Chains A and B, each alone.
Chain A
Amino acid sequence: MEASQFKSDQYVRFCPGCGDHAICMALQKAMAQIGIPTHQVAVISGIGCSSRMPHYLNTYGFNTIHGRGGAIATGVKTSHPELTVWQMSGDGDCLAIGGNHFIHEIRRNVDINICMFNNRIYGLTKGQYSPTSPKGFVSKSSPFGTVERPFIPADLVLGARGTFFARALDVDVPVTVDCLVAAQRHKGASVVECLVNCVIFNNGTHAWVADREQRAEHSIVLKHGEKMIFGIERDKGLTVEIDKNTFIPQIVVVPADDPRVLTHDAHQQDPTIQRLLALMGQENGLPVALGVIRDVEAETYNDAVNNQIAEVHSKTNVHSFDELTATLDRWEM
């Protein structure tokens, strides 16, 4: 299929320069690459800049209310597992007002592809801090800087027993497309954290990794089964060392030819190393991990629910209302 088949007739109203434009394009490309017909795809969103996304995709779409996209998507997928369900959400929609639905759809492992656009700001309400804004962040609602500790989305996803976590970057469309396609292939709740720039209210929030000159040094694209190598010269590698005193494992940078350089294992059920990789960034002087960080198998909620119904259904012979009432302790008058 062609990306153009997934473009709706709506004029895209993201601000000029907004990172959401790139993710929108990447979504259309990824959906074409996946090749599921438009009428079999439902894109559910809550409220926020990112939640406008369904309007620009020529599939079934539902732009709902703030924070509830996850619960509505759960209803769509569970009742109709044959549909491919995407959820478009932002750091406020997903992690603040919709936090409960977000952790529960992950815990239940509902087969939904969740794109969580993280620009660390509330854009549609014109510039308030979000649950991912760094402590001290000055915004209209935090004129003296926030006093809050931010969420690290990957940490939350893994804490909720997530089976899939990938990180994409607005300015890197090929990596974003790869993440989205992998999210669709994964059966279960697939969270793709899309690092997007808000050109109006939080310009440059991801500059450390997004900057073209620095990106090769400040990021690493993880691929399952491949060595963790990065840098402009691709001369650096990552490995894990155990602290001699605390026994706490930590990621360290070593030369690319060091035999200790790790091979990425996204399919490893134990999330210890995946978590260390996901937490890398400017704060600890390590490259931001992009690509699919975790991708493990587990039974999906939609399958479990439907299989249980099918099983009970097949074991009984009461399948209609009249048969059901015949089982009652009833008498004739």
Chain B
Amino acid sequence: MRSNLQIVFVVMQQVVVRFCGDSGDGMQLTGNMFAQLAAEMGHEISTLPDFPAEIRAPQGTLGGVSAFQVELGHEVYTSGDKADVIVAMNAAALKVCTLGSHFNHPQALFDDDFALYHRHAIVIVDTDFLAEKDLEKAQFHTNNPFTELGVPETVQIVPVALTTLTKEALKDSGMDNKSILKCRNMFALGLIYWLFDEPMEKAIRLLEEKFKKKPALVAPNSKVMVDGYNYGQNLALSVNQIHLDDVSLTNHSINSSLLHGHFTSIAGNKATAWGLIAAAEKAGKRLFLGSYPITPATDILHELAARKDMNVMAIQAEDEIAGVCTAIGAAFAGDLACTSTSGPGLSLKSEAIGLAVMAELPLVVIDVQRGGPSTGLPTKTEQTDLLQALYGRNGECPAVVIAASSSANCFDFAYEACRIALENMTPVILMTDTYLANGTALWRVPKLADLPKIRPQGVPEELKGHYNPALRDERGVRYWAYPGMEGFEHRNIGLERDAQKGTISTNPENHELMILARKHKIEQIANSVPDLKVISGQIVYEKMANKDIVLVGWGSTEGHLHAAANEIGCDLAQFNYICPLPRNTYDVLSKYKRIIVCELNTGQFATYLRAQFPGLMFEQYNEIQGQPFAVERIVNYVKSN
């Protein structure tokens, strides 16, 4: 089947592919299909969907460019700084990926600092969408977009008349022009499959799976995809095919759990939703979600609303406050209660979270962080809600704060949030963000039996008839009785309660006692939090070890910081548990000469750590552009300072 022309393979360990086109061009679907096939072929993957806030910006314009980036290969920590392969479906997409954040500057040219691809990248571009009107919409001033953008000669530009070829492929299909045009992304996908020498049988099966609800679309899309593959094969595009190095997951230090078993690719929001489902079953509790639609958290609501087969009750409330309040009602009535939101919603829920702190009810609050403040950058990623989660409530109002650090471990930390909440009668705020929520990663599918036990707080039977909501166990966690339990009738309150009787109290000493009791309850949770483990950066490219340096991060930056630690040859301390911190935090950090706290904000975790450990010196590295870290910039910072 191979053409008789000489095929040259380039062997690479990791490759970054970026699909970019108009928001209506199906780039998210195309990228997802490619990533899924790559994962099925045994590659590690990490993806970054990057789409505009507008659902449909005017067609062909710079504001309407939607992209999907995936890194695949071996030792994949991030979705990649820069692409090795670009698919640009139109002139606007070409401009945006060439100029990056500078696409709006009239005189901007390709620059290594902000281009979204490397100097040696392959750029596949649909020439049918480089016509005069397309160039005009993308604000080009000449008829030669490549020269105008200053694309280096080292970039391999692959001009393909994607649209013409798609029309040709479907000329006998009887489909109308508009429907035919919707298939051009599959031509591009077929071409990429050829580039990576992927097996078409699996690709076709995957396509059938994706379109199983629209069977009429299977045949034309499949045809176009195969034609795209054959186009690459037969014309032997003057491009080298890419061969990924053999995969061996065993050396992967982030995902050391990825030894063997069943795998799938999963998006962070779905992983979060499934973590809640697993926890509910493990704990023997009904899962209740009260939520209100908000980008980028809504997929959690979507997923749980669809899980009635699992007996999940997911309520779309009238507002963010009702989202958390219905959950508090369900918690009061004995359920595993959750609410999902993003930063603006967390602000609205603050007072109610305070009620759950005061009433000492289990509650899981998921904050999928986005760019702020206010409406900010709703579809972009940021780590700017940390201090809000820790302190954004009236009064002395401690709650548990934990963070997921990969799309796949959103599952584990959602599960962990439920465990901590149910066992300790407290709200737990789980921090994820746009990058984790929309990105996908390889996930080793667990068995319920292998997950940690969850022992929801209960109430000893002998308290029947004598129960009140202030009674605590030896850990300082109050006992949980709820409506329906005979002999445990009580009144819970958001007012201060008497430490003995559980009734309203305004007594000064009692108030202080209760504040300390609630504080202690959160602090003792550290007893069930695993120790902080340092990740040692591998010394690659014969670089010097820098073992007196530790990068410190929290949440979603783990992949990027790990890659940076490898480049620098230093250590990484990545936090998932923020309040309370792991018990050994001071012991770990105090060993280093340079502690560099890297965050996608202006230094919120650094501020928190300084307050906890005033004796340590914390250096900061911050980026706040609505995008994940660029590994290269972190490395440059650490080396030049």
| A19 → chain B closest CB, angstroms | 22
Contacting B at CB under 8 A, from A312-331, are: 312-313, 316, 318-322, 324-325, 328-331
Asked whether A313 lies within 8 Å of B337 as measured between CB atoms, the reply is no
Q: Once the chains bind, are A71 and B262 in contact (CB under 8 Å)?
A: no
From B278, which residue of chain A is reached at the shortest CB distance? A321
Query: Do B325 and A75 touch (CB < 8 A)?
Result: yes
Judge if B485 is at the interface, Cβ distance under 8 Å. yes
Tell me whether A330 and B263 are in contact (CB under 8 A). yes
Contact check, B313 vs A328: say whether CB atoms are below 8 A apart: no
Closest to B277 in A: A321
**A116 CB to nearest chain B CB (Å):** 18
Q: Are A71 and B487 in contact (CB under 8 A)?
A: no
Q: Are B309 and A68 in contact (CB under 8 A)?
A: no
Of the candidates B309, B351, B492, B494, which one forms a contact with A61 in the assembled complex, judged by CB atoms under 8 Å apart?
A: B492
Partner of A63, one of B263, B352, B485, B491: B491
Is B313 a contact of A104 with CB atoms below 8 Å?
no
Q: In chain B between 449 and 478, which residues have their CB closer than 8 angstroms to a CB of chain A? A: none
The answer on a CB contact under 8 Å between B330 and A330 is no
A107 closest partner in B (C-beta): B318
Contact of A75 with B264 in the complex, beta carbons under 8 Å: no
CB-based contact B484/A83 at 8 Å: yes
The count of residues in chain A whose C-beta lies closer than 8 Å to any C-beta of chain B is 56
Whether A312 pairs with B308 at a CB distance below 8 angstroms is yes
Asked whether B327 lies within 8 Å of A58 as measured between CB atoms, the reply is: no
Whole-angstrom distance between the alpha carbons of A329 and B260 in the complex?
A: 16
A10, A40, A322: most-surrounded residue (chain B CB, <10 A): A322
Chain A residues positioned under 8 Å from B592 (CB to CB): none
- Measured in the bound complex, the distance between the Cα atoms of B352 and A319 in whole Å is 32
* In the complex, chain A residues 70-87 whose Cβ is within 8 Å of any chain B Cβ: 71-80, 82-83
**Assuming A322-B448, A324-B274, is B492 touching A76 (CB within 8 A)?**
no
- Contact yes or no, A39 B278, CB < 8 A: no
Q: How far in angstroms is the closest Cβ of chain B from A46?
A: 10
Asked if A14 is an interface residue, CB under 8 A from chain B, the answer is: no
Consensus secondary structure, chain B interface:
mixed
User: Distance (Å) between the CB of B72 and the closest chain A CB?
Assistant: 15
Q: Is the CB of A37 closer than 8 A to any CB of chain B?
A: yes
Q: CA A150 – CA B274 in complex, angstroms? A: 47
**A101 in contact (CB, < 8 A):** yes
Cβ < 8 Å to A, chain B residues 247-301: 249, 260-264, 274, 277-278, 281, 286, 288, 290
Any chain B CB within 8 A of the CB of A242?
A: no
Known: A42-B333, A72-B332, A78-B326. A65 touches B311 (CB 8 A): no
Q: Which residues of B contact A73 (CB under 8 A)?
A: 329
A300 to chain B, nearest CB (A): 14
Contact A79 B325 (CB under 8 A): no
The answer on a CB contact under 8 Å between B288 and A37 is: no
Chain A residues in 8 Å Cβ range of B150: none
Residue B373 at the chain A interface, CB threshold 8 Å: no
Asked if residues B281 and A325 are in contact (CB atoms below 8 Å), the reply is: no
Known: A65-B351, A78-B313. A100 touches B319 (CB 8 A): yes
Within 8 Å CB of A72, what residues of B?
Answer: 325-326, 328-329, 332
Asked whether A75 lies within 8 Å of B277 as measured between CB atoms, the reply is no
Instruction: Kindly name the residue among A41, A72, A325 whose own CB sees the greatest number of chain B CB atoms within 10 A.
Output: A72
A59 to B490, CA, bound (A): 7
Name the residue among A44, A64, A324, A328 with the largest chain B CB count within 10 angstroms.
Answer: A64
- B489 with A59: CB separation less than 8 A: yes
Q: Is B569 an interface residue (CB 8 A)?
A: no
Given contacts A74-B329, A100-B318, A331-B262, contact A10 B484 (CB under 8 A): no
Q: Which of B262, B263, B277, B288 contacts A324 (CB 8 A)?
A: B277
Q: How far is the CA of A38 from the CA of B485 in the complex (A)?
A: 10
Contact A76 B329 (CB under 8 A): yes
A54 sits at the interface (CB 8 A)? yes
Q: Does A245 contact B (CB under 8 A)?
A: no
Which residue of the partner chain A has the closest CB to B324? A71
Verify A40–B484 contact, CB threshold 8 A: yes
CB-based contact B486/A64 at 8 Å: no
Q: What's the nearest-Cβ distance from chain A to residue B358, in Å?
A: 9
Chain A residues within an 8 Å CB radius of B495: 63
Q: How far is the CA of A72 from the CA of B313 in the complex (A)?
A: 15
- CB proximity to A under 8 Å, residues B310-362: 310-313, 315, 317-319, 321-322, 325-335, 337, 351-352, 354-355, 359
List, in ascending order, chain B residues with CB within 8 A of A65's CB.
Answer: 351-352, 354-355, 494
* Contact B493–A63 (Cβ < 8 Å): yes
Given contacts A313-B309, A331-B262, is CB(A39)–CB(B318) below 8 Å?
no
Question: B482 at the A/B interface (Cβ < 8 Å)?
Answer: yes
With a cutoff of 8 Å between Cβ atoms, the chain A residues found around residue B209 in the complex are 329
Q: Which residue of A lies closest to B258 (CB)?
A: A333
Q: Which residues of B contact A298 (CB under 8 A)?
A: none
Tell me, in angstroms, the Cα distance from A217 to B587 when the chains sit together.
81
Q: Given the complex of chains A and B, what is the CA–CA distance between A200 and B244 in angstroms?
A: 81
* Bound Cα distance A88, B340 (Å): 28
Shortest Cβ gap from A59 to chain B (Å): 6
Q: Is the CB of A63 within 8 A of B264?
A: no
- Once A68-B352, A330-B262, A331-B263 are accepted as A-B contacts, the answer to whether A83 and B311 lie under 8 Å apart by CB is no
A104 to B504, CA, bound (A): 30
Tell me whether A203 is interfacial, beta carbon within 8 Å.
no
User: Would you call B577 an interface residue if the criterion is a C-beta within 8 Å of the partner chain's C-beta atoms?
Assistant: no
- The verdict on A38 contacting B489 (CB below 8 Å), with A65-B351, A321-B277 known, is yes
Q: Please, which residues of chain A bring their CB within 8 A of the CB of B484?
A: 39-40, 80, 82-83
With a 10 A CB-CB cut-off, give which of B261, B309, B313, B492 has the most chain A CB atoms: B309
What residue in chain B is nearest A328 (Cβ atoms)?
B264
Q: Is the CB of B42 within 8 A of A333?
A: yes
User: A residues within 8 A CB of B53?
Assistant: none
What B residues does A248 contact at CB under 8 A? none
Whether A71 lies near B447 (C-beta < 8 A) is: no
> Taking the nearest CB of chain B, how far is it from the CB of A124, in angstroms?
12
In the complex, A101 Cα to B290 Cα: how many Å?
Answer: 13
Whole-angstrom distance between the Cβ of A165 and the nearest chain B Cβ: 20
Q: Which residues of A contact B262 (CB under 8 A)?
A: 325, 328, 330-332
Residues of chain A with a CB closer than 8 A to B620's CB: none
B483 at interface, CB cutoff 8 A: yes
B198 at the interface (CB under 8 A from A): no
User: Is A318 in contact with B309, judged by CB distance below 8 angstroms?
Assistant: yes
A329 and B309 CA atoms in complex are apart in Å by 18
Decide yes or no whether B423 CB sits under 8 A from chain A: no
Q: Would you call B503 and A10 a contact (CB within 8 A)?
A: yes
CB–CB B321/A313 < 8 A: no
**A55 touching B261 by the CB < 8 A rule?**
no
Closest 10 CB pairs of A and B: A75-B329, A75-B326, A71-B325, A312-B308, A61-B491, A79-B330, A71-B322, A316-B309, A72-B329, A330-B264
Interface residues of B (CB under 8 A from A): 36, 40, 42, 209, 249, 260-264, 274, 277-278, 281, 286, 288, 290, 307-313, 315, 317-319, 321-322, 325-335, 337, 351-352, 354-355, 359, 445-448, 482-495, 503-504
* 30 chain-A/chain-B pairs, Cβ below 8 angstroms: A37-B486, A39-B483, A39-B484, A39-B485, A39-B487, A60-B482, A60-B489, A61-B491, A62-B329, A63-B495, A65-B355, A75-B288, A75-B290, A75-B337, A76-B332, A79-B333, A79-B335, A79-B337, A83-B484, A101-B321, A309-B311, A313-B311, A318-B309, A320-B310, A321-B274, A321-B448, A322-B448, A324-B307, A332-B262, A333-B261
Task: Enumerate chain A interface residues (CB-CB to B < 8 A).
Answer: 8, 10, 37-42, 44, 47, 54-55, 58-65, 68, 71-80, 82-83, 100-101, 104, 305-306, 308-309, 312-313, 316, 318-322, 324-325, 328-333
